[in-house]
């Protein structure tokens, strides 16, 4: 990953505060030791996807961020912590399995079945009940970050990033907007089928953040 996420998040906090944003929580932990990651893998009974393991060991063991800009009716959050991963895993297995058992009832294609469920790893549980997952079905493939809507609404089964690294590098530069899909849609490139820094709204937002952080 080319972006050092903790450093970039620190500059984003400065930018958001200068823009009048409300910071509810902004915590970034140091990287995790291999033993801590091994312990979580033992708890959940499976290895973490390789790039997620690298994220926790090379970037940070946890991020817990929530901010809002009232004058823009806009917010962002990033809650991914190694210490909470076992609980998130249990919630994912109990809360989403039924949808993959009966994909048609959820408005999903037949291939969104239990085999796909077993290939998915939960990344972010959203406040509206939706879920971001890493779909890691091929050991030789970096895996896709996908959005799941609990109500089969807009954004359901949409790819947000063609790899975990690519998703994080783009999304963190967007100040961890959303990640509810209605907050991300202005930053979504429907041709490339992923969030992008190249939409008009993305360029304007990133420029605003960069000017605020350097002023």
Q: Is the dihedral of CA 161, 149, 135, 49 positive or negative?
A: positive
Q: Is the pLDDT of residue 137 over 70?
A: no
Q: What is the pLDDT of residue 73?
A: 85
In order of 120, 123, 135, the CA distances from 185 in angstroms are 23, 19, 20
Q: Is the pLDDT of residue 1 over 90?
A: no
Q: What is the pLDDT of residue 194?
A: 95
Q: Is the pLDDT of residue 152 over 80?
A: no
Tokens linked to 193: 């089928």
- Report residue 134's pLDDT band, with 50, 70 and 90 as the boundaries: very high
- Average pLDDT of the segment spanning 117-123: 94
Q: Please report the domains of the chain, with CATH numbers, ordered by start residue.
A: 5-214 (3.40.1580.10)
Q: What is the pLDDT of residue 2?
A: 85
- Supply the DSSP symbol for 59: I
Q: Is the pLDDT of residue 107 over 90?
A: no
- Average pLDDT of the segment spanning 60-75: 92
Q: Is the pLDDT of residue 20 over 80?
A: yes
pLDDT in tens, 176-188: 999 999 999 999 9
- Report residue 37's pLDDT band, with 50, 70 and 90 as the boundaries: very high
Q: Residue 158: CA atoms inside 13 Å, Cβ hemisphere, count?
A: 25
Q: What is the pLDDT of residue 92?
A: 94
Phi, psi (rounded to 5 degrees) for 112: -85, 65
Q: In the block, which residue shows the tokens 């109500």?
A: 151
Tokens linked to 119: 């290939």
Q: Is the pLDDT of residue 153 over 70?
A: no
Mean pLDDT taken over the chain: 92
pLDDT in tens, 88-103: 999 999 999 999 999 9
- Report residue 146's pLDDT band, with 50, 70 and 90 as the boundaries: very high
Tell me how far apart the alpha carbons of residues 57 and 79 are, in angstroms, rounded to a whole number: 16
Q: Is the pLDDT of residue 21 over 90?
A: yes
In order of 6, 141, 161, 175, the CA distances from 70 in angstroms are 25, 40, 28, 15
Q: H helices within the chain, ranges in order?
A: 5-18, 34-44, 50-54, 85-101, 114-119, 164-173, 181-184, 200-214
Q: Is the pLDDT of residue 167 over 70?
A: yes
Tell me if 69 sits within 8 A of 20, measured CB to CB.
yes
Whole-model pTM?
A: 0.93
Taking the mean position of all CA atoms in its chain, how far away is CA 101? 24
Tell me how far apart the alpha carbons of residues 134 and 49 are, in angstroms, rounded to a whole number: 8
């Amino acid at each position: 990953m080319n972006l050092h996420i903790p450093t970039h998040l620190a500059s984003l906090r400065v930018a958001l505060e200068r823009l009048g944003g409300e910071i509810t929580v902004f915590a970034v932990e140091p990287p995790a030791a291999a033993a801590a990651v091994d312990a979580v893998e033992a708890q959940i009974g499976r290895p973490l996807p390789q790039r997620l393991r690298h994220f926790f060991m090379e970037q940070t063991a946890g991020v817990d961020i929530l901010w809002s800009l009232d004058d823009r009716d806009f917010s962002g959050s990033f809650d991914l912590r190694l210490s909470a991963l076992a609980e998130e895993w249990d919630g994912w297995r109990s809360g989403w399995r039924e949808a993959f058992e009966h994909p048609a009832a959820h408005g999903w294609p037949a291939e969104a079945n239990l085999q796909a469920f077993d290939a998915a790893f939960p990344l972010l549980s959203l406040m509206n009940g939706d879920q971001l997952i890493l779909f890691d079905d091929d050991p030789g493939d970096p895996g896709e970050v996908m959005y799941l809507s609990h109500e089969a609404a807009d954004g359901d089964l949409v790819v947000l990033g063609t790899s975990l690294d690519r998703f994080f590098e783009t999304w963190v530069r967007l100040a961890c907007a959303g990640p509810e899909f209605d907050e991300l849609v202005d930053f979504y490139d429907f041709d490339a089928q992923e969030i992008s820094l190249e939409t008009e709204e993305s360029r304007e937002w990133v420029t605003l953040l960069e000017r605020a952080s350097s002023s």
